[in-house]
Amino acid sequence: MEEQTDFNLEAYKKDYVAKAGSPLPEGHKKASRDELIAALKMVSDPEIMVNIWDMGLVYKLEQRNNGDVYIEMTVTSPMCPVAGELPEQAAAAVASVEGVGEVEVKIVWEPAWSLDMLSDEAKEMFELF
């Protein structure tokens, strides 16, 4: 007999987008890519305590000519309890950087995250445990 569950994985994996920030005034100097990455490194997965950049959760970081930033990221699992919080935190962190306009962070599910995506620094941290 097949076990029934109320959990619908496909519905859970639907597109999730978080937004923050406001348009950058025309002529305002844009933030550097390094500043954007530094902001993303301020956001950590609370269960693992490693930032989302070093976890390899950020798949795409695109800064547009007008200072807006588009990010595609994932979470470690569709069952991740902070799947809705991490993109909001990432959007807010990047939007707080001087020279950033509107920020959009989209959760994507392909490719699926794996330990191979960890940065060398994060791999070293995991080896300590």
Confidence category of residue 108, pLDDT binned at 50, 70, 90: very high
Q: Is 128 left (phi over 0), alpha (psi -120 to 50) or beta?
A: alpha
User: For 53-104, what is each residue's pLDDT tens digit?
Assistant: 999 999 999 999 999 999 999 988 877 777 778 999 999 999 999 999 999 9
40 by Cβ neighbours in 10 Å (0-12 / 13-18 / 19+) ranks as: buried
Task: Classify domain 15-114 by CATH architecture.
Answer: 2-Layer Sandwich (3.30)
User: Quick one: pLDDT at residue 22?
Assistant: 96
pTM of the model: 0.83
> Domain limits of the chain?
15-114
Report how far apart, in Å, the C-alpha atoms of 10 and of each of 29, 56, 72, 109 are. Answer: 41, 23, 19, 11
Q: Tell me if 21 sits within 8 A of 103, measured CB to CB.
A: yes
